[in-house]
Amino acid sequence: MKLGVNIDHIATLRQVRYMSDIDAHNAEPDLLAAAETCVRAGAAGITVHLREDRRHIQDADVFRLREGLKTKLNLEMGNSPAILAIALKVRPDEVCLVPENRAEVTTEGGLNVAGQQEALRPTVDALRNAGIRVSMFIEPERGQIAASHALGAEMVELHTGAFANSEDGAQLAALVRLREAAEQAHGLGVQVNAGHGINYTNIARIRTLPHVVELNIGHSIVCRAISVGLERAVREMVAAMQQ
């Protein structure tokens, strides 16, 4: 498994003080420097979510990361024409389409691809025509995987929130659903990624999943970085994934 580090909450910290002037000479933390630290520590890519309300990542951040990063940039976005226009200018390596609700603290649940195929198709086609690989952030459900494949998405990112938020038997049952979903997607030729709520403890079970190419992890790494620093936090997660 490869690690994609989500740096949204590094931007959250900056926004607390520099919301109105992210280009100020003393605005910190610096997102590009943080991203480069993650890559140096073993991250295979950087993930950012450009939300419609711009609560953390800003437009300028995405362009700067695209220009400065020497590794993969994965852009999470809702199915918004305005954000799509930015994505087509930035040309990230990958786009992951996610549900977006302004009232939520963070992304809650997977995208209902099966119920929104016609609304999603123009966005998927535009991204693919621009040479951008497309992923769908979905629940580990057969219908959602089949719909993602039918739309032409090269990847699915399985939502691991139900697994991460449960314990004992319920967590094992959620792990079985994730395993079955990974098998189905792989059988269709769709790359399997996973993310949401993965931490340094539950990674032990997540790494037993078959066919998973990449994990996108943010909150847990940023929390760990408060104690040990960002570079060590990323190295520890990479090591935990590879045990």
pLDDT in tens, 170-202: 999 999 999 999 999 999 999 999 999 999 999
Clarify whether 56 is annotated catalytic.
no
* Amino acid residing at 162: A
Handedness of CA 93, 96, 100, 106 (dihedral sign): negative
* pLDDT band of 94, cuts 50, 70, 90: very high
Task: Provide mean pLDDT across the span 123-146.
Answer: 98
CA 99 to chain CA mean position, Å: 12
Q: Find out whether 19 and 60 touch, Cβ atoms under 8 Å.
A: no
Q: How many domains does the chain have?
A: 1
Query: Which among 49, 56, 149, 159 is annotated as catalytic?
Result: 49
Clarify whether 211 is annotated catalytic.
no
Alpha-helical runs (H) found in 109-229: 117-129, 142-151, 161-164, 168-187, 203-206, 219-228
Query: Which among 56, 149, 159, 196 is annotated as catalytic?
Result: 196
Q: Are strands 191-195 and 45-49 parallel, antiparallel or unpaired?
A: unpaired
Q: 3-class SS at 177?
A: helix
CA 18, CA 41: separation in Å to the nearest integer? 27
Tell whether the model's pLDDT for residue 232 goes beyond 80: yes
* Residue whose structure tokens are 């890559």: 39
Domain range for 21:
2-242
Q: Give the CATH number of the domain where residue 189 resides.
A: 3.20.20.70
Clarify whether 49 is annotated catalytic.
yes
- pLDDT of 155: 98
Tell whether the model's pLDDT for residue 104 goes beyond 80: no
* pLDDT band of 106, cuts 50, 70, 90: low
- pLDDT of 24: 77
CA 224, CA 213: separation in Å to the nearest integer? 23
Closest alpha carbon to 157 in 175, 188, 136:
136
Query: Which among 36, 76, 94, 139 is annotated as catalytic?
Result: 76
Q: Are strands 155-159 and 2-6 parallel, antiparallel or unpaired?
A: unpaired
Tell whether the model's pLDDT for residue 32 goes beyond 60: yes
Q: Which residues of 128-167 are buried (b: 16+ CB within 10 A; e: fewer)?
A: beeebbbbbbbbbbeebbbbbbebebbbbbbbbbbbbebe
Q: Are strands 155-159 and 133-138 parallel, antiparallel or unpaired?
A: parallel
Tell whether the model's pLDDT for residue 72 goes beyond 80: yes
